[in-house]
A and B are shown apart, each in its own frame.
With several copies, the nearest count.
Chain A
Amino acid sequence: MELSKELLIDLYTTMVRIRRCDEKVIECLFAGKLITFYHSCQGQEAPGTALGRSLRKDDYLYYNHRGHGLPKVLPKGMSPKTFIAEHYGRATGAAKGYAGFHNCDIEIGIPGMGGMVGGEATLAAGTALACKLRGKGQVTANMFGDGATGRGPFHEAMLMSATWKLPLIWCVENNRYQQWTCISLTHPKEDLADFAHGYGIPSAVVDGQDVIACYEALQPAIERARAGKGPTLLEFKTYRFRPHVEGFPDFSVQCEGGCRPEFEVEEWKKRDPIKLMEATLLEKGVLTEADIERIHREATEEMEEADRFSADSPWPDPKGLDQALYAD
C-alpha cells in the first residue's frame, strides 16, 4: 500500500496536534485550571490517528479514557477547543461541561464515553447494528485498552458482532498495563488478538508506534466492515510515556522500583511515534526540517488559542439540568 504524500503529512500533523493538546491539558491541570483529572496519551498517538483519519464523517467512533479520547476524537474531527473546554468544565465543552472528561459530538460520529472501562463495547455493537440496518455503508469502530478485554461485556459484544457480521472494527491498544497492574498478571497470553479465534473473526497484531503500519492494517478491516463481511480485531502494541493518571506516580508495590521498570519506559520512548514518523518523512523527502518546525509551531498556537477559548467560556447553567436529563 502506497500512502499519498498528503496523507502522510496529515497523519504526522495530526499526531503532533494530539501531542501538543495533551501537553497543554497537562499544563492547565497542574496550573489548577481544570475541573478534574487527566490520563495522558503521550506515546499512543498513532493507532487513534490512523483510525480517526481512516473513517468517514458519518462513521462512528467509540474511544476510551486514555487522553480522554484525544488521540481518537481529534483525528475524527473534534476541535481542541471543545475538548479543552470540557476539561475546564465550561458550557462550550464537548459535553457542555456536564462531564469534565467525557467528550461527545454525534454530528461527527462521536457518541461519547462511559465511566466503566470496556463499557463502550456493547454500545459499539448496537451502533454497528444501526449502521448495518441503515444500509449506507457506515461502520463503527471501538478503540480501547488491553484492560478492557478483561470485561465480560466486551466478549458479549464480540460475539454479537461476529454472529451478525456487524460493520465493526475492534481496536485494542495494548500498552501492557491497566492502571498499575502489568498484563502479565491479568492475562495468560501475550497477544490479545488471539481472542478473535473463539469468535471466528480475522485479527492482526500491529506495531502501534508506526502510524503507517497502523493505517495499513486498518484499511482492510474497514473495507471488510463496509462490505458487510463483519468485524475484525486489531491489536496495536503500544506504550504510554507518562503515568496512568497525572499527579499519581506510576507505582506498584508488586514490582520493584515502581510498576514499570525504568529500562522498559526508556526502550519504548525510543519508539516515539512522532519521532519515528518524522524520520520516515524526512528520509522520504516528504517534509523538510522547516516544515516540521512549522507544523509544531502551528499546533502549539492552536492549543494556546483553544486554552484561551476555554478559559473565557462560561460555566454551564444549572437551569439546563432537566433538559439534559430527559429529551423532549
Chain B
Amino acid sequence: MREIKYMDAINEAMKEEMSRDETVYLIGEDVSQDIWGTSCDLFEMFGSERVRDTAISEAAIIGSAVGAAIAGYRPVVNTMFADFAMCGADELLHKAAKWRFTHGGKIRIPMVVRAPAGGYSRLGPEHSQCPESLFMRTPGLKIAMPSTPYDAKGLLKTAIRDNNPVIFLEHKNLMGHTGPVPEEEYLVPFGVADIKREGTDVTVVATGFMVSLAQEVAEVLQQDHDVSLEIVDPRTLEPLDLDTILASVRKTKHLVVVDEETSRCGPAAEIGMLVMENAFDYLDAPIKRVAAANYPIPGGYLEQFVLPQPQAMADAVAAVLGREKLDLQGKVVAKGAM
C-alpha cells in the first residue's frame, strides 16, 4: 500500500469530503494556508467561500460554526492550536456540546473542530496542550484522536459525516509521520479501538502521539528486556471502546494508561477508573498512569520534566510487573514538531 504523511491524509479527507458534500466548509485563522501543512490545495480547489480565513476571533469562529451547522451546513473549524479553542470555550463547551440536548434533541449540530494538539516543541503552556479531559468532561461532544495517517484520514471523514460536534485532536508531532493509506475510499468508525501491537504481559492504552512513543518503547522492552506490551489505541475517547480495553486487561492482568494530557482528572484517570469498576478482579497490580505532571506545560528546557517521557512509560511497566527498572538507555526520544 502507498505510504503518505499524516498531514496529507488529513488533506485528502478534507478534499474528498468537500468534494462529496458541498455543505462542508473550512473556517479559521489562516486556514487557506494552515501552519501545519494540511490545507495546501484546498483554497485553490474550493475558493474563498468554502475555505474561509477569519479575523482572530475564536468565539465567532466556533460559535458561527454552531449556527451554520444548525442551519444545515457542516463546518470544519481549524483552531491552529488546540489551546486557542479556549477562547471560544462557551461556544464549544456550552453551545456546540449542549444546544441540541437543551432543546430536547430537536436540532442537529454536525460540525468538526480540528484542534492541532500536543507538546514537545517547547512552546509553553498556551501552545502545547492536549486538552482531552476538557472535552471528555463535556458530554455532547465526540472526540477523535488519530495516531496514524490511516486513522487520521478515516476518522476525519467519519467526523465530517457525523451529525454531532466532533473534536478532532490532530497531533502536531505526527504531521510528518508516514504510514500506509489505501487509495480507495474508507472510513474508520467511531468507538472501535485498534490494537496497535499485540502482546501478553501488560496492556498499554495510549492515544495520539503517545501511541507512536509506546510502540517504540514496546520494541525496546521486547528486544532488551523480553517484556511484551499490548498497545490498545481507543482512537475515539467518546465514544470509548471499553470492551476492547477490558478484553486486553483480562488477558494481560496489567494496565498502564499513557496519556499526554495533564494527569489530574485526565483520560488516564477515567480509563483507569472504568477498568477498576469493570475488571477489578482481573488486575494483578494497581493500574499505573503515565501522563503530564500536574503543572502547566513550561516552555523551553523544563518541558521535558512535565510532559510524559518514554522512560516513564518503561518505569510504569516495570512497576505493574513488580520488576526492577526497565532501562531504555535513551533509545526512545520524544520529538516535537518544531
Residues of A with Cβ closer than 8 Å to B?
Answer: 35-37, 60, 89, 93, 95-102, 104-106, 111-112, 114-119, 121-131, 133-134, 140, 147-148, 150-153, 156-157, 159-160, 163, 178-181, 185-187, 248, 251-254, 315-316, 318, 320-321, 323-328
Contact = CB atoms under 8 A, between A and B. Distances in A.
Contacts of B62: 122
Contacts of B187: none
A60 B71 CA distance: 9
A36 B110 CA distance: 30
Contacts of A102: 102-103, 124, 299
B95 to A, nearest CB: 6
A128 B67 CA distance: 8
A121 B102 contact: no
A112 B43 CA distance: 33
A83 to B, nearest CB: 13
A327 B108 CA distance: 6
A97 B300 contact: yes
Contacts of A147: 55-56
A130 B71 contact: yes
A153 B57 CA distance: 8
Contacts, number: 273
A104 B104 contact: yes
B57 A151 contact: yes
B100 A321 contact: no
Contacts of B125: 115
A148 B29 CA distance: 12
Interface of B: 25, 29-30, 32-33, 35, 39-40, 43-44, 48-49, 53-60, 62-73, 75, 83-84, 86-88, 90-91, 94-95, 99-110, 121-127, 139-140, 142, 163-164, 295-296, 298-302, 305-306, 338
Contacts of B122: 35-36, 89, 100
A254 B35 contact: no
B300 A89 contact: yes
Most chain B beta-carbon contacts within 10 A, residue among A251, A320, A321: A321
Contacts of A126: 63-71, 75
Q: Most B CB atoms within 10 A — which of A35, A131, A134?
A: A35
B94 A119 contact: yes
Given A179-B30, A253-B43, A122 B108 contact: no
A234 to B, nearest CB: 20
Contact of A178 (B56, B87, B126): B56
B126 A116 contact: yes
A264 B296 CA distance: 41
A43 B189 CA distance: 51
Contact of B95 (A114, A128, A187, A252): A114
Contacts of B83: 115-116
B33 A252 contact: yes
A97 B302 CA distance: 8
A219 B62 CA distance: 30
A187 B56 CA distance: 10
A186 B101 CA distance: 33
A185 B53 contact: yes
B123 A181 contact: no
Contact of A95 (B59, B70, B102): B102
Contact of B124 (A101, A118, A325): A101
A29 to B, nearest CB: 12
Interface centre among A99, A126, A133, A328 (most CB of B within 10 A): A126
A153 B104 contact: no
A127 to B, nearest CB: 4
A226 B177 CA distance: 48
Given A36-B300, A95-B102, A160-B64, A111 B56 contact: no
B305 A119 contact: no
26 contacts: A35-B301, A89-B122, A89-B299, A95-B103, A95-B104, A98-B302, A99-B299, A100-B124, A116-B90, A117-B56, A119-B90, A123-B67, A123-B99, A128-B67, A152-B59, A153-B88, A156-B63, A186-B53, A253-B32, A254-B33, A316-B300, A316-B301, A324-B105, A324-B298, A327-B110, A327-B163
B107 A106 contact: yes
Contacts of B302: 97-98, 316, 318, 321
Contacts of A160: 54-55, 57, 60, 64
Contact of A253 (B33, B123, B140): B33
Closest 4 CB pairs of A and B: A122-B63, A115-B126, A96-B104, A126-B67
A55 to B, nearest CB: 14
Contact of B25 (A99, A121, A133, A152): A133
A138 to B, nearest CB: 8
A70 B62 CA distance: 27
A107 to B, nearest CB: 9
B102 A321 contact: no
Contact of B54 (A115, A186, A323): A186
